[in-house]
Amino acid sequence: MTVTDQADNCFSKKEILSILSTVKDPEIPVISIQDLGILQNVDVSGQTVRVDIIPTYSGCPAMHTIKTDIKQALGQHGVVDMEVRLLDQPIWTTDMISPKGRAAMQAYGIAPPLSINEKKISCPQCDSTHTTCISEFGSTACKALYRCESCLEPFDYFKCHA
């Protein structure tokens, strides 16, 4: 019995990544931490799992929640021995968001951060680039509140790294 238990408690990196794909950003529940680009490393050594993440910007209050969510998700799948580390490096940039993540944000009604080639924030509802920043702080500190001048809808813009 103990032998079987031990075998069951060994995880592959692939399994851990699949568990982690269920951990979403608490502010944007449609995007996983992997698609957001904050998941940096996963180390599996026997029964020990180590996960390294980086903050979207230093002092983001969501990081504490994400850490807890990771531990909870792993725990639910039987991982007992785990460590979640919050790294200072590399510095997260919006370019780390995967194309899948950007698409999910847009579909959710949040304007994805601009990539280097874009200059104007476009409305997630109608794609108009005729938009105005109403407030530097949207529903959370990571977002700014914008309004579309074409369809007059307000929307959140996920801010670039400060």
Contact with Zn ion (CB under 5 A) among 79, 113, 148, 157 = 148
Q: Does 134 bind Zn ion (CB under 5 A)?
A: no
Taking a C-beta distance cutoff of 8 angstroms, is the pair 101, 113 a contact?
no
In the complex, minimum distance from the CB of residue 143 to Zn ion, in angstroms, rounded to a whole number:
17
Among 123, 143, 146, 158, binds Zn ion (CB under 5 A): 123
Q: Find the shortest distance in angstroms from Cβ 122 to Zn ion.
A: 8
**Are 17 and 41 a contacting pair, CB within 8 Å?**
no
For Zn ion, the binding residues in 13-42 under the rule CB under 5 A are: none
Which segments within 87-142 are labelled E, that is strand?
110-111, 131-135
Nearest to 159, CA basis, from 103, 79, 80, 97: 97
User: Considering only residues 126, 134, 136, 139, which one is a binding residue for Zn ion as defined by CB under 5 A?
Assistant: 126
Q: How many CB atoms lie within 10 A of CB 86?
A: 15
Rg of the chain (C-alpha set): 18
Q: Compare residues 11 and 155 and give the one whose CB is closer to Zn ion.
A: 155
The site for Zn ion (CB under 5 A) is made up of: 123, 125-126, 128, 148, 150-151
